[in-house]
Structure formats: structure tokens, C-alpha cells
Amino acid sequence: MKKGMALLAALVLLFSCALADQTVELPGGRRFLTLPDAMTPVSLKPGDDALMAYLSPTLEMDVFSFANETDKSIHDVADWIVSEGYEAQIQRIGGIDMVVFQQTDETASCIGYNFLDGDQVLQIVFWYADQAAADQAGTIMAGIW
């Protein structure tokens, strides 16, 4: 009986660890995201623009950083995103003002989140395969801390 209980406890621990989420520190070390365990880190190559990337079967997350050398406001960031050809809006997510944009074309769809973080503008872009994955990106960003 004790061996059975120990085996059951070990299995519960194993499965709970297998289904656990992971905490990821964003560049600059001031913000964190909780990602599903199914998202695994991608090895970046020299010359890649992204600072970090994670991938799952339905969702890819790329993180970029731009220097905020001119003390831009969140409205300046929104204007910059619009000048790049995207429709953008400012939303408060996880207590942070962010510029959110979406892109959909025949090859890929993404949603991007841009926010000021100290002396940088962080841009987190989620490329998604379907609406459920797009919704998952929103859930991930809502949990930023």
C-alpha cells in the first residue's frame, strides 16, 4: 500500500511538472512573462533581430528591443507603429500602457505589443496559427509582471 501511494505521489508530481508553466525574464530584467510549458526557447543565430524567441506548435513569440534615446512617450511609439503601416491602439495590459497592433496577410498573422521599459521600447510579437493561439497570446500578455 505504501509503495502504491508513493508511486501515485511520484506520478502526480511528474505530471504536474510536465504541465507547469515557465517564467521568462524579458530583456532589461524588469518584466516577466509566464509562458505555457509547450513553448520552448529557439536558438537565435548571429544577425537575428530578435533578442529572444519561443515556439510552440501554434504560437511563436519574438522579443525585440529598441533604444528609447529620445525619451519617447507611449503616444510617440504609437505614431511610429502607424508610420510603419500598421493600425495601432494604446491599451492598458497588466497595468502597463502598451501599443498593440495586428497584422494578417496570406502567409502569416501576428499581434504585437510595444511598451516603454526604462531606456528601451520592448516589442513582443506573437505569430499565431489560429484564433485560439491568438487568444493565448492575449492571455500571456495579460499576465505580464
The percent of residues above 70 in pLDDT, for the chain, comes to 87
Domains of the chain by residue range: 21-142
Residues 120 and 67: beta-carbon distance below 8 Å: yes
Start-end of H helices in 59-122? 74-83
Look up the pTM and report it: 0.81
The CATH code of domain 21-142 reads 3.40.1000.10
Categorize the per-residue pLDDT at 7 as very low, low, confident or very high, splitting at 50, 70 and 90: very low
58-80: pLDDT as tens digits? 999 999 998 887 778 999 999 98
- Worst-scoring range by mean pLDDT, 5-14, 52-61, 117-126? 5-14
Contact 134, 109 (CB under 8 A): yes
Residue 104, pLDDT > 90, answer no
pLDDT score recorded for residue 105: 78
pLDDT the model gives residue 116: 92
Whether the pLDDT of residue 11 is over 50: the answer is no
pLDDT at res. 13 = 37
CA distance 19 to 4: 23
* Other residues' Cβ atoms within 10 Å of the Cβ of residue 100: 20
Return the closest-CA partner of residue 114 out of 70, 143, 79, 69: 79
Q: What pLDDT sits at residue 17? A: 40
**Average pLDDT across the chain, whole number:** 85
